[in-house]
Amino acid sequence: MSLLLDDDKLKLVVNNVAVTADGLKLLGHLLESSRVFTKGIKGDPNIDAYNRGRADFGLEIRELIIRSNIEQYCKILKEANKENE
């Protein structure tokens, strides 16, 4: 049995999460903690590889959100900008 969802089911699941306030907080947290918005090299190849892997996964999450509900992704960005002001 595979737990992988086909594209349509995955979009539906992500959209169902993204339309709730808690879901937006969760997705924002995952994006932020994956360091998808952070660039830079620390100088240690092991740390850099680890951080790049986290960011790559964050990019995959970001792509899922964008494909599922671009408006909700924009809300996540607006919320992140508010907190950074």
Q: For the residues of the chain, what is the DSSP string, one character each?
A: ---PPPHHHHHHHHHHHHTSHHHHHHHHHHHHHTTTT-----S-HHHHHHHHHHHHHHHHHHHHHHHH-HHHHHHHHHHHHHHH-
- pLDDT: which is higher, 25 or 82: 25
pLDDT in tens, 14-69: 999 998 999 999 999 999 999 887 777 778 899 888 888 999 999 999 999 999 98
User: What's the CA gap between 39 and 55, in Å, rounded?
Assistant: 9
What is the pLDDT, as a whole number, of residue 84? Answer: 65
What is the pLDDT, as a whole number, of residue 36? Answer: 83
**Structural domain tally of the chain?**
1
Domain that holds residue 75: 7-84
* Residue 56 in domain: yes
* Residue 2 in domain: no
What is the pLDDT, as a whole number, of residue 44? Answer: 87
* Residue 38 in domain: yes
Q: What is the pTM of this model?
A: 0.80
* Residue 33 in domain: yes
